[in-house]
Amino acid sequence: MNRQSILEQLRALGAVAAHANNRWVTSVRGKPVRVTLVHPLFLDRPRLRVGDKVAIVDTEEGVAFLCRATAVEYSELSRSPRLDLTVIKTLELA
C-alpha cells in the first residue's frame, strides 16, 4: 500500500488528522496514549476537539491505530495541540 492510499483509507474511517509514530507520540504497551501534533501527515480541521478521530501510523510495524481524542490542550507557547488518546481500532497496513 502506498502512502496516499493509506491516508485515504484513514480519512474514509473518519480520521480528521494523522500523525507518524515518532518521538512526539507517547505509547504504553505499544499503544499510543498521547500525541503532540507537531508535523501531522494530514490535518483536516484547524482546531481539534474532544471526540475527533486521530490516526497514529507506524510504518515500521505496519500498523495504524485509529484513536479518539479524550482531551485536547492548546498552549500559548506552542501552536501544536496535545491530545490524550484512546485506541478504537488497530489496522494492519499491507
Computed over every residue of the chain, the mean pLDDT equals 92
The C-alpha atoms of residue 74 and residue 58 are separated, in whole angstroms, by 25
Q: Cα separation of 40 and 94, whole Å? A: 21
Query: Cα 42 to the chain's mean position, in Å?
Result: 9
Model confidence at 93: pLDDT above 90: no
- The whole model's pTM is what? 0.90
Does residue 75 or residue 89 have the better pLDDT?
A: 89
Q: Which is more confidently placed, 94 or 91?
A: 91
The 10s digit of each residue's pLDDT in 1-45 is: 688 888 999 999 999 999 999 999 999 999 999 999 999 999 998
Q: Above 90 in pLDDT, residue 55?
A: yes
Query: In the predicted model, is pLDDT for residue 94 greater than 80?
Result: no
DSSP 78: -
Q: In which band, very low, low, confident or very high, does the pLDDT at 75 lie, cut at 50, 70 and 90?
A: confident
Please, are residues 85 and 32 in contact by the beta-carbon 8 Å criterion?
Answer: yes
